[in-house]
Homo-oligomer: A and B are copies of this chain.
Amino acid sequence: MTDYNVAIMGATGAVGQVLLEILAERDFPVGELRLLASARSAGRAIPFNGSSIQVQELGEDSFAGVDIVLASAGGSLSKQFNPHAVAAGAVVVDNTSAYRMDPDVPLVVPEINPEDLAAHNGIIANPNCSTIIMDVAVWPLYQRRQVKRIVVSTYQAVSGAGARAMQELEAQTQQVLAGQEAEPAEFPHPIAFNLFSHDSAVGPEGYCEEELKMVRETRKMFHDDALQISATTIRVPVLRAHSEAINVEFAEPFPAAEAEAILAQAEGVRIVNDPAQNYFPMPIEASGCDEVLVGRIRQDISRPEGTGLDLWVSGDQLRKGAALNAVQIAEELIARKLL
C-alpha cells in the first residue's frame, strides 16, 4: 500500500489536533507527516502514533514532496499558501471558507457528492460545519423526494470558534459561578449560561454569513439552485457538537416511518430516537462520534398533507463538521486515484 506525505496547516488548532487523532484512528496511509503552524508554535513537539513530531513554521517552501495538505489555519492563510502547495504538486483539502463557493473548486461531503472530486484543480473545499451536519441528515431524504424548502435553527458549540473559545466557555462559566462578571474575549458577548445569534457579519438581507453558508453550500453540493433554505444560527454554551432543528418541506408526501427507515440505512447517520424514554440526540453524546445523530423524526403536523418532516440532529463539530470530513475526502481522493 502506498503511503502519502501529509502536511497539516494549522496543526496546533482545535481542528488540527483532531485531524491528528483521526489520521491515527483510521490508519491513514501517512508517509511523512509535516505539521505546519505559525512561528509562535514552531519547535513544539506533538505526539502522533507513538512518535513525536516537531511543528515547523508555515512558509511558501513548506510543501516540497507533500502529496496531501489538510489546511485548517484560517481563510487568509489558505489564500496565501494553497497556491504554493498546489504549485509544489500537492492536493489541498481546505477546511476554511476561502474557496468553498469558487466554481473551480469542488465542495464535498463524501456521503453526498464524492463524484465532484474528479473535477478538482488541486484544491477541494470542506464545507462549513453546520452545513455538513444538516446535509448528512437531509441528503438521504432528498434523494427520495424533491426538497422544496428547509427551515433550520442551529444550536452551535463553541468549538467552531476555535480552541480559545472552548477555553473561554469553561473559564467564564467558572467565573460566573464564583459570582464574578463574565469577560468576553473570543466572543462579542458572554457565553456562560447564555446564547446569542452567531457573530459572523450580518448582510443587507438580515442573514449572517454562517446562515448564508448553509444556504449556498447546500445548493452547491446538492447541485440544486432552486432549493430554498432559511437558517437561524445560534451559539450555545456547549463544547463541541452542533445540534440543529430541521424542518423539511417536500414536493410530495413523505411518511415519517419511511424517512426513519431510510435514515437508518444512510451512511454517516446514527438513529437516536426513543420517544418512550425521551432519548434523542444530545451534543454530549455526539461528541467523539463519527456519525451525525438523528432523532425526533416526525411528520410535520403543520402540513396535514404529509409533505413535511421535522428532524433533530447532533454532530461533532470538530469531527464530521471539520477534521473527519477532510480526512474522508483525502481517503476518497486516494480510492478514486485523484491524487
Contact = CB atoms under 8 A, between A and B. Distances in A.
Interface of A: 149-151, 153, 155, 169-170, 173-174, 177, 188-190, 193-197, 199, 201-202, 205-208, 215, 228-230, 232, 234, 236-239, 243, 245, 247, 256, 275-276, 278, 280, 282-284, 295-304, 308, 310, 312
A189 B247 CA distance: 24
Contact of A232 (B232, B282, B296): B296
Given A205-B299, A228-B303, A275-B206, A238 B284 contact: no
Contacts of A303: 149, 228, 230
Contacts of A232: 153, 245, 247, 296, 310, 312
Nearest to A190: B284
Contacts of A229: 301-302
A295 B308 CA distance: 27
A21 B243 CA distance: 36
B236 A296 contact: no
Contact of A206 (B238, B245, B296): B296
Contact of A170 (B177, B238, B283, B301): B177
Contact of A153 (B153, B170, B190, B283): B153
B299 A206 contact: yes
A155 B234 contact: yes
A284 B194 contact: yes
Contacts of A205: 298-299, 301
Given A151-B247, A230-B308, A206 B282 contact: no
